[in-house]
Chain A
Amino acid sequence: MSDTTQAFFEGLAKRGYEPLLHSVTGTIRWDIEDAGNWYVIVDKGSVTVSRDTAGADCVAACNREDFERMAVGKQNPVTLFMQGKMKFAGNPGLAQMFQRLFPDESLSGAKQG
């Protein structure tokens, strides 16, 4: 169950460098209900993941089910936020950029109009 969350962050850590975040520097902390805290540290596109870094520029909080849906590309992060199911504190620009880390392809065709 929590494997999806863990796999997502491990996958991030493995990327090492993420070109989509080349202009981003900052730390975002994810507070995921029932799955704990995860820190994603971005330094001009270099991504590291930690579970016990102090201090974050941005905190995002949601429950595990919603996070896992985002982690597999089944939930749009912006509308999750707008529905009040994901809360933010701190630098919203960082949160905006972070959504580029969620999977690309799986939303394709999910909402055929």
Chain B
Amino acid sequence: MGEKTTVSVLEGNNFVVSDLRGDIDASPTEALGLFAWDTRFLSRWLLTVDGLRPNVLSTDDLDYFSVRFFLVPGTGTIYVDADQSIIRKREIGNGFHEDLTILNHKDKAVDLKVRIEAAADFADLFEVKDKLTKKGEFYHRIESDGLVLGYRREKFVHETLITASAKADIDEHGLSFAVHIEPHGQWTTSLDVVIRLGWFAGNPQETKNMQWDQRATSNVKRSLEKLSKEVPRLSCEWPSLQVTYTRSLVDLAALRFYPLTLSGQAIPAAGLPWFMTIFGRDSMITSYQALPFASELAIASLEALAQRQGTRIDDFRDEEPGKIMHEVRFGEMTAFEERPHSPYYGACDVTPFFLILLDEVERWTGNAELVRQLELEARAALTWIDKYGDRNGDGYVEYSRRNKETGLENQCWKDSWNSILFADGTNSRLPRATCEIQGYVYDAKRRCARLARTFWNDPALAERLEKEAAELKRRFNQDYWLEDREFFALAIDGDGRKVDSLTSNIGHLLWSGIVDEDKAEAVVRHLMGPRLYSGWGVRTMAEGEGGYNPIGYHVGTVWPHDNSFIAMGLRRYGYREEAARVAMHMLEAATYFRGRLPEAFAGYRRDLTEFPVEYPTACSPQAWASGAPLLLLRAILGLEPIGENLLVDPAIPIELGQLELLDIPGRWGRIDAFGRGRVDTSATGDRMQPGTV
């Protein structure tokens, strides 16, 4: 891992990335700035004292919403004992608030010229990534109390307002302070950087009536405290698990995104800082992982996604009636339809997943009201599966993008363009029906049959869905099974060919239950075998496949969220030891990242590197990686809601010793789950019998 050179504070989709001094000096290669609504509202924020930039002593960013920078004035030469100290304390809000304090350590008074240079390029996140030029005009205005930096394109207006509590000389490039400090005295000013969106009626710059415009710090602090009180308490003889558990919860708290259209409810965003927005897939998968711990995330995700469910055919957005959205963005390029994210619907797996999550929420929480409230949306999603998901009428759901220019080529979770490869390394053709999507559809239909019968008063629908699911399972086990290699094809492609690489997708098939019992043993053998299993987890693609690359994004790396689903799948088919092994190895990997699993790590064999090599992704934490330890805990404790009760059936790795998860909330009130580690996870896959520990 490289030396850390930036510091972030964040709240919702509002974040500041600065250097270790607290300065922002954005360049094409350094994505620093104050960002909100996918737009950079501040690209320059430089502190100088007597014309020199300070040197950093230390940076204290213990929590997400505030950071302190301890600095000394720059000398321009080598370090000498400083006569002054500078402290910048920054808190995120609607923009940010910064307290700038200078302490004079000398016994005589000092006069200093303090200056903050400021500029805003109002770049869309897409522009920051792709280095595009702006089409509108920039302006600035000096108001009585501050400096306004603005950008206008037709009626699209964004502004940044900068004010100071101390007297300042304001010019278009910043604020200057003539500072006099008495012996051993101090000087302080607060600086407020406020974002103004031109989106709302009345005074278009006021956002006061909207719920995100509260002082964010107290919000975050309060909700973190509330969260830690309400989630189950964990105790474990293996102390690293406590670290990972706490890390996951804190990260998930920081990853909460508050959609404007929900009154104050939060959903998991996908990743910090660049993916702080609603993603159909990431938001729901994380919500699913977190269900036993914080079910409100899943409820809010379902509601937010239901609000944005597709209602029309729109090629640009890959939208279809009943389809659940993939990603929403708020920047200028999205506004002017230069990008399709308003929202973009290019995901094929999320519509069945929406139905799975709806049922799973009811199983955990007993929230029948939600199931009735979303009946229409659920039915529309079911219709989408058959009418639009199954594009060629072969009974399988496949994807192909409508938007050929900026749409996604692969609309499954492995959404890089080269993820669905044949064993010889060649690419498959669109439309692609990846295997795990068929599993999700199977599971979704079975679950919706239950919902139809229990809540929608529609036994005929229930019967039809059960019949369709059974038929899908029967056909799938024939059509996708590779007889000679004894696993399921990754996909069936546009030419009707079985895409024959061995991949982690087969683990999702266990999770969804579509695998015939007599094929499960072979699937598990592959998952736990040396070609797929790295020692840290199941690789996305097996060693030896033509496309395999241990540092290829979806063709060889190990993904924690993927493995958490695989562990659940192993449990579902009775492979308790294997599930415990996957869980233990992933939890061991987490210890190398101080409890924060990365989105992915390299697929190198464990005995080759001895530590997990992080895949360099843009975001950390990533929501579904933070959610993975939670789902792994569920897997090893064997937590399953059965009617009004929670079934606890532990299969815990020996290394963990005594494991207790207390006060698990659900329709049963609160229940404790505990067990003792008895599974030897060092075993090598020779014993492949389900069900015995």
What is the distance, in angstroms, from A50's C-beta to the closest C-beta of chain B?
20
Cβ of B658 < 8 Å from any Cβ of A? no
CB-CB under 8 A from B314, the residues of chain A are 76, 107-108, 110-111
What is the distance, in angstroms, from B225's C-beta to the closest C-beta of chain A?
27
CB-CB under 8 A from A92, the residues of chain B are 210, 260-261
What is the distance, in angstroms, from B495's C-beta to the closest C-beta of chain A?
23
The distance in angstroms between the C-alpha atoms of A82 and B198, with both chains bound, is 9
Does A89 lie within 8 Å of B201, measured CB to CB? yes
Q: Is the interface of B mostly helix, strand, loop or mixed?
A: loop
The distance in angstroms between the C-alpha atoms of A71 and B210, with both chains bound, is 27
Does A104 lie within 8 Å of B198, measured CB to CB? no
Partner of B315, one of A97, A104, A113: A113
Does A111 lie within 8 Å of B342, measured CB to CB? no
Does B261 lie within 8 Å of A93, measured CB to CB? yes
Does A108 lie within 8 Å of B315, measured CB to CB? yes
CB-CB under 8 A from A73, the residues of chain B are 312
What is the distance, in angstroms, from A26's C-beta to the closest C-beta of chain B?
12
The distance in angstroms between the C-alpha atoms of A61 and B261, with both chains bound, is 18
Cβ of B2 < 8 Å from any Cβ of A? no
Does A79 lie within 8 Å of B336, measured CB to CB? yes
The distance in angstroms between the C-alpha atoms of A112 and B198, with both chains bound, is 30
Q: From residue 52 to 84 of chain A, which have CB atoms closer than 8 A to chain B? A: 59-61, 73, 76, 78-79, 81-84
What is the distance, in angstroms, from B371's C-beta to the closest C-beta of chain A?
12
Partner of B201, one of A19, A61, A91: A61
Cβ of B691 < 8 Å from any Cβ of A? no
CB-CB under 8 A from B313, the residues of chain A are 104-105, 107-109
Task: Please judge, given known A-B contacts A78-B342, A83-B336, A84-B157, whether A113 and B316 are in contact too, CB under 8 Å.
Answer: yes
Contacts between the two chains (Cβ within 8 Å), count: 106
Does B199 lie within 8 Å of A96, measured CB to CB? no
The distance in angstroms between the C-alpha atoms of A19 and B156, with both chains bound, is 34
CB-CB under 8 A from B262, the residues of chain A are 93
Does A112 lie within 8 Å of B342, measured CB to CB? no
Q: Is the interface of A mostly helix, strand, loop or mixed?
A: mixed
Cβ of B403 < 8 Å from any Cβ of A? yes
CB-CB under 8 A from B155, the residues of chain A are 83-85
Does A20 lie within 8 Å of B261, measured CB to CB? no
Cβ of A51 < 8 Å from any Cβ of B? no
Task: Please judge, given known A-B contacts A110-B316, A111-B337, A112-B315, whether A79 and B342 are in contact too, CB under 8 Å.
Answer: yes
Q: From residue 645 to 674 of chain B, which have CB atoms closer than 8 A to chain A? A: none
Size of the chain A interface, CB-CB below 8 angstroms: 37
Does A113 lie within 8 Å of B342, measured CB to CB? no
What is the distance, in angstroms, from A8's C-beta to the closest C-beta of chain B?
16
Does A108 lie within 8 Å of B312, measured CB to CB? yes
Does B201 lie within 8 Å of A84, measured CB to CB? no
Does B200 lie within 8 Å of A88, measured CB to CB? yes
The distance in angstroms between the C-alpha atoms of A110 and B373, with both chains bound, is 32
Size of the chain B interface, CB-CB below 8 angstroms: 42
Closest to B306 in A: A23
Task: Please judge, given known A-B contacts A79-B334, A89-B201, A113-B406, whether A97 and B156 are in contact too, CB under 8 Å.
Answer: no
Does A96 lie within 8 Å of B315, measured CB to CB? no
What is the distance, in angstroms, from A84's C-beta to the closest C-beta of chain B?
4
Task: Please judge, given known A-B contacts A76-B342, A113-B405, whether A83 and B315 are in contact too, CB under 8 Å.
Answer: no
CB-CB under 8 A from A96, the residues of chain B are 261, 307-308
Cβ of B228 < 8 Å from any Cβ of A? no
The distance in angstroms between the C-alpha atoms of A90 and B207, with both chains bound, is 11
Cβ of B675 < 8 Å from any Cβ of A? no
Does A113 lie within 8 Å of B404, measured CB to CB? yes
Cβ of A14 < 8 Å from any Cβ of B? no
Does B315 lie within 8 Å of A109, measured CB to CB? yes
Cβ of B311 < 8 Å from any Cβ of A? yes
Mark B151-170 against chain A: 1 for CB-CB distance below 8 A, else 0.
Answer: 00011110000000000000
Does A89 lie within 8 Å of B316, measured CB to CB? no
Cβ of B202 < 8 Å from any Cβ of A? yes
CB-CB under 8 A from B109, the residues of chain A are none
Partner of A93, one of B154, B209, B263, B373: B263
The distance in angstroms between the C-alpha atoms of A73 and B314, with both chains bound, is 11
The distance in angstroms between the C-alpha atoms of A44 and B499, with both chains bound, is 47
CB-CB under 8 A from A90, the residues of chain B are 209
Does B312 lie within 8 Å of A79, measured CB to CB? no
Partner of A84, one of B198, B343, B376, B401: B198
The distance in angstroms between the C-alpha atoms of A19 and B321, with both chains bound, is 14
Mark A29-67 against chain B: 1 for CB-CB distance below 8 A, else 0.
Answer: 000000000000000000000000000000111000000
Does A84 lie within 8 Å of B202, measured CB to CB? no
CB-CB under 8 A from B308, the residues of chain A are 96
CB-CB under 8 A from A93, the residues of chain B are 260-263, 307
Kindly name the residue among A78, A79, A82, A111 whose own CB sees the greatest number of chain B CB atoms within 10 A.
Answer: A82
Cβ of A15 < 8 Å from any Cβ of B? no
Task: Please judge, given known A-B contacts A76-B337, A109-B315, whether A87 and B156 are in contact too, CB under 8 Å.
Answer: no
What is the distance, in angstroms, from B343's C-beta to the closest C-beta of chain A?
8
Cβ of B402 < 8 Å from any Cβ of A? yes
Task: Please judge, given known A-B contacts A84-B156, A85-B155, whether A104 and B311 are in contact too, CB under 8 Å.
Answer: yes
CB-CB under 8 A from B82, the residues of chain A are none
Mark B258-295 against chain A: 1 for CB-CB distance below 8 A, else 0.
Answer: 00111100000000000000000000000000000000
CB-CB under 8 A from B343, the residues of chain A are 78
Interface residues of A (CB under 8 A from B): 19-20, 22-23, 59-61, 73, 76, 78-79, 81-85, 87-93, 95-97, 100, 103-105, 107-113
Can you offer 23 A-B residue contacts whose CB atoms are under 8 A? A20-B311, A20-B376, A22-B376, A23-B373, A59-B201, A60-B201, A76-B337, A78-B342, A78-B343, A81-B199, A82-B334, A84-B156, A87-B199, A87-B201, A96-B308, A100-B311, A103-B312, A107-B312, A111-B337, A113-B315, A113-B401, A113-B404, A113-B406
Given A23-B376, A76-B314, A111-B314: 11 more A-B contacts, CB < 8 Å: A79-B342, A81-B199, A83-B335, A84-B204, A88-B201, A93-B262, A104-B313, A105-B313, A108-B313, A111-B337, A113-B404
5 A-B pairs closest in CB distance: A111-B316, A82-B335, A113-B403, A87-B201, A84-B155
